[in-house]
């Protein structure tokens, strides 16, 4: 297949079991011969589901989307805890047969709702002194890990099986479902770990719209990739949009500020320092930026921070 001239946008992939997020990125880059490919929100090899790939210039927008909320379904195995908080780890204690009443689970789960402080797993990519803490753990080096504030927006019991809780969790970025499973097991007094995890939503992106990895090869053979791409213009719909003319476009390409008079559309209140999208008159996304005070403090100007078009 010849290299695609322009591929800028988001591709939704259903990551299969056993693949790292980097594996999916590398496969996509190699398959479609695209130089710039990144992903939002790492999924562990044992997790499946929605992986959001940013292609081409969409990689420049990743920081605006990486903090979006996520929704997962998962299974907490009640029997014992493990060193990794999932089924890959070594057992901590002797496995036991657990029978928990549904009423007890239903009364327990609200305690994990809302803003809580969560301790990341020792075997995770959380960094301490610039190094992922899983490296310290594998070397047997003790390291102090601080609990972080996360938010659980919703947690529901989908099914209760022998020794297993099937949950659906809506949460903020930075939430470790492995830690949640471990903490639930501790609260029940029997220990628990995450035995299954599937991401079903990432911000406004849904797993229902994702392509299984085996279909990537098929659309590559048929040159159908562009039909599956979400263009950059469709991303970040919540941001106010400004329209600029050809002169404004040229100024943005050189990183120059625009006065309010050079911008059309709904302009945010300057004090809010909201990000805005700058579009040309044909609707093409040119840049993202914010309004800042002019050098002489006489007003506000649009300062581009991320420019998406070439000179």
**pLDDT tens, position by position, 243-282:** 999 999 999 999 999 888 888 776 665 445 689 999 999 9
Per-residue model confidence (pLDDT) at position 298: 66
The answer to whether 81 and 186 are in contact (CB under 8 A) is: yes
Residues 49 and 108 in one domain: no
Residues 127 and 194 in one domain: yes
Residues 252 and 142 in one domain: no
Q: Is residue 45 part of a domain?
A: yes
Q: Is residue 255 part of a domain?
A: yes
Residues 176 and 157 in one domain: yes
Residues 128 and 188 in one domain: yes
Task: Map residue 29 onto helix, strand or coil.
Answer: helix
Per-residue model confidence (pLDDT) at position 1: 46
- Residue 84: give the domain boundaries: 70-199
Q: Is residue 4 part of a domain?
A: no
Residues 184 and 276 in one domain: no
Catalytic residue among 14, 23, 44, 310: 44
Q: Is residue 49 part of a domain?
A: yes
Residues 78 and 192 in one domain: yes
Counting as low any pLDDT under 70, the low residues of the chain are 1-6, 125, 128-130, 137, 266-273, 297-298, 311
CATH number of the domain that residue 219 is part of: 3.30.2350.10
Residues 187 and 113 in one domain: yes
- Give the residue carrying structure tokens 């990537």: 216
Q: Per the structure, how many domains does the chain have?
A: 3
Per-residue model confidence (pLDDT) at position 304: 94
Which tokens in the block code for residue 14?
A: 């259903």
Residues 156 and 261 in one domain: no
Q: Residue 225's closest CA among 29, 61, 20, 65?
A: 29
CATH number of the domain that residue 248 is part of: 2.30.130.10
Instruction: Please state, in angstroms and as integers, the Cα–Cα distance from residue 109 to each residue in 44, 52, 104, 114, 153, following that order.
Output: 24, 29, 9, 11, 12
- In the residue annotation, 223 being an active-site residue is answered as no
Residues 94 and 158 in one domain: yes
Per-residue model confidence (pLDDT) at position 273: 64
Indicate the DSSP class of residue 67: T
Which tokens in the block code for residue 204?
A: 């406004």
């Amino acid at each position: 297949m010849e290299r695609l001239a322009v591929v800028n946008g988001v591709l939704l992939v259903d990551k299969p079991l056993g693949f790292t997020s980097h594996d999916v990125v590398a496969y996509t880059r190699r398959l479609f011969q695209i130089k710039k490919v990144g992903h939002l929100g790492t999924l562990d090899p044992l997790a499946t589901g929605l992986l959001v790939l940013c292609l081409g210039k969409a990689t420049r927008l990743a920081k605006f989307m990486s903090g979006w909320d996520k929704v997962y379904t998962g299974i907490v195995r009640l029997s014992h805890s493990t060193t990794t908080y999932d089924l890959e780890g070594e057992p901590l204690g002797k496995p036991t047969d657990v029978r928990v009443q549904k009423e007890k689970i239903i009364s327990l789960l609200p305690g994990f709702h809302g803003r809580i402080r969560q301790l990341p797993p020792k075997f995770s990519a959380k960094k301490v002194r610039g190094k992922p803490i899983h490296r310290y753990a594998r070397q047997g080096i003790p390291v102090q890990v601080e609990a972080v504030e996360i938010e659980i927006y919703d947690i529901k019991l989908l099914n209760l099986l022998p020794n297993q809780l099937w949950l659906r969790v809506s949460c903020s970025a930075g939430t470790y479902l492995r830690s949640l499973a471990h903490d639930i097991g501790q609260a029940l007094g029997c220990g628990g770990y995450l035995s299954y995890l599937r991401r079903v939503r990432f911000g406004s992106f849904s797993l229902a719209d994702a392509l299984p990895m085996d279909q990537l090869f098929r659309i590559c053979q048929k040159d159908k990739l562009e039909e599956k791409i979400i263009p950059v213009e469709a991303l970040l719909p919540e941001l106010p949009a400004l329209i600029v003319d050809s002169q404004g476009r040229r100024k943005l390409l050189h990183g120059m500020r625009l006065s309010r008079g050079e911008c059309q559309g709904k302009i945010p209140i300057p004090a809010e320092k909201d990000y805005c999208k700058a579009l040309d008159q044909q609707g093409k996304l040119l840049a993202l930026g914010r309004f800042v005070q002019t050098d002489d403090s006489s007003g506000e100007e649009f300062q581009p921070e991320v420019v998406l078009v070439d000179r």
